[in-house]
Structure 1
Amino acid sequence: MELINNVKAIVLDLDGTLLNSKKEVSERNKKAILTAHKQGIVVIFATARPPRSVKDFLPHELQDIATMVYYNGALIVNKVLDYRQHYPIDSAITSEIIEFVITYQADACLSVESEDTWYSNKTLDYKKAMNTDVNPTVISLNELKKINASKLLISQYSHHEKLQKQFEHKVNTICTDAGTLTQIMAKGVSKEQAIREICIQNNIPMGDVMVFGDDWNDLELFYACGFPIAMGNAIPELKDTAYFITDTNDEDGVAQVLEKLTCTVNNS
């Protein structure tokens, strides 16, 4: 990677990127991020996860210095600036999508996230399907349809392409986790749009943003930012778009790049 000195913000995905396979942030990665922050670089974490989940994985030292993007961009929070923006799916659209899903696959594993609360209409063990240690609150299907959802989740769904085509003008739909998880956000909601909003607030050009990622929900952001960094474990589409490919999330790939970056800043 060539030395660069005009990075003004870094955006970090969590799963498969900053977090290792044990769902931990290594000391090396934490130190590299804190060093970047001390040198004036804006730190942003952008994840598909809800706030409660991020609190379990991300060290408090990092949470305290960063702007947080949750639900792939549906919720943006900066506690220092007392800033909070939520972009939910209207309940009428939530209802339409749920009806469509159960029409094609009645046994679909479907749940709704709404501002850090998780709901489902079935009592299931979501721990493996959703890569979490907790299960959602079970409510009736009719109650589920009335929620203004931060994000809709469908696991092991066989009709992702039909769903995406049917609702492409109403919501933003992506398929992640090797095709096993369909994630649905409000139309216009994405990590990219959230980062654009944050950069406008901080007067930072997108060309001066470095982003780290590994999966489909990072792809638009890779196209939009000046310095997209693909993890060694990233999908091929991200690697093809990347400015640089670093080592995997189990090899401190994030820290390897940031250590070079902060050295560049020091020498500029």
Structure 2
Amino acid sequence: MKYAAVVLDLDGTLLNSQKKISERNRKAIIDCYSKGMKIIYATARPPRTVKYLLPDELYQLGSFIYYNGAYVDCKFTETTLHFPIPENISKEFLEYCSFGKPDCNLGVEVKDHWFSNKEVDYSAVTNVKESPIVKTIQELKQFEVTKFLVADIPDFNAILERYSSKLNLIITDNGKLLQVMSKEASKEQAVRMLCDKYEISVEEIICFGDDHNDLGVFKVSGYSVAMGNAINELKEISHEVTGTNDEDGVGQVLERLVGVTQSYFG
């Protein structure tokens, strides 16, 4: 089958444990692009961090799905989409966390701006050195929220029970982080929208991932590849399991399925 696009998660997938992209993976992506394939980066990360993590040559090749689908940007199709959390639900969620979970660390992403309800070091769960701007709950209520990040509580069961019907809730980072988006926002929904813009079918996609936020994309893509370090739920529904993110798992598959870099790596 001739594949038209490759969808790449970043953390735990394209990025290795040092948050770097190997030469093998880099060359595989460039070769895919040179063959006419669309490159789509689909991540939970915000725009500012993705630009920092990706080498410029790879950044320039891609369309971007940020915040698990809550914000989409594609210069090739001149597409920019934002799916914020509805204002009434956002305010309710802030009140609930403020009074019901007062010890939680609450990050608030507003497009590419980062705020928080308290001074906190998020580096342990987000692997970034930057810090959010601290705002009061009343100040946070004024924003059109793209995504909430909830950390540092024993479990998320109460939040899941209360808001699973109203919001898209995903637990990642080995159970340490709850990511909260609009019900309209998901990686798979964003992938479908970009495919429509590119006039290609989701069946023509190869996708790679490792965590819960990749499950939806795996279910709609033509060929899904779970990393060797992926969660079991993802491996169980994937078409194949490749090497880990420290073993160039992305490059391994692209070499075989798309016929790229074979002479380079044998």
1:72 aligns with 2:73: no
Q: Which residue of 2 aligns with 1:148?
A: 144
Match for 1:256: what amino acid? Q
Could you tell me which of 22, 28, 31 is aligned with 1:26?
22
Report the secondary structure of 1:110's partner residue: strand
Alpha carbons 1:51, 1:70 under 8 Å: kept: yes
| Deviation, structure 1 residue 205 | 1.5
Question: d(CA) in 2 for partners of 1:107 and 1:165?
Answer: 19
Question: d(CA) in 1 for partners of 2:74 and 2:45?
Answer: 16
1:56 aligns with 2:80: no
Deviations along 1:138-185, one digit per CA (max 9) or x if unpaired, are 111111122111110001233422212222232111111111100001
Question: d(CA) in 2 for partners of 1:91 and 1:27?
Answer: 44
Question: d(CA) in 2 for partners of 1:156 and 1:208?
Answer: 40
1:82 aligns with 2:72: no
Alpha carbons 2:12, 2:245 under 8 Å: kept: yes
1:240 aligns with 2:231: no
Alpha carbons 1:155, 1:181 under 8 Å: kept: yes
Could you tell me which of 96, 99, 104 is aligned with 1:100?
96
1:204 aligns with 2:200: yes
Q: Which residue of 2 aligns with 1:222?
A: 218
Q: Which residue of 1 aligns with 2:187?
A: 191
Question: d(CA) in 1 for partners of 2:157 and 2:183?
Answer: 17
Deviations along 1:217-257, one digit per CA (max 9) or x if unpaired, are 00111111111100000000010011010000001000011
5+ long unaligned stretches in structure 2: none
Pairwise CA RMSD of aligned residues?
1.6
Alpha carbons 2:106, 2:117 under 8 Å: kept: yes
| Deviation, structure 1 residue 131 | 1.9
Report the secondary structure of 2:193's partner residue: helix
Alpha carbons 2:68, 2:213 under 8 Å: kept: yes
Question: d(CA) in 1 for partners of 2:76 and 2:201?
Answer: 22
Match for 2:91: what amino acid? S
5+ long unaligned stretches in structure 1: none
Aligned pairs for 1:120-139 within 5 A: 120-139=116-135
Match for 2:171: what amino acid? C
| Deviation, structure 1 residue 83 | 2.1
Could you tell me which of 28, 36, 40 is aligned with 2:32?
36
| Deviation, structure 1 residue 82 | 2.9
Match for 2:222: what amino acid? G
Question: d(CA) in 2 for partners of 1:163 and 1:146?
Answer: 22
Report the secondary structure of 2:196's partner residue: helix
1:117 aligns with 2:78: no
Question: d(CA) in 2 for partners of 1:81 and 1:242?
Answer: 29
Alpha carbons 2:98, 2:137 under 8 Å: kept: no
Deviations along 1:62-110, one digit per CA (max 9) or x if unpaired, are 1111110000001111123332111111232111112222333211010
Alpha carbons 2:30, 2:58 under 8 Å: kept: yes
Deviations along 1:19-62, one digit per CA (max 9) or x if unpaired, are 00000011111110010111111110000000000011111111
Could you tell me which of 9, 12, 30 is aligned with 1:13?
9
1:259 aligns with 2:255: yes
Report the secondary structure of 2:208's partner residue: strand
Alpha carbons 1:8, 1:41 under 8 Å: kept: yes
1:182 aligns with 2:200: no
Report the secondary structure of 1:263's partner residue: coil
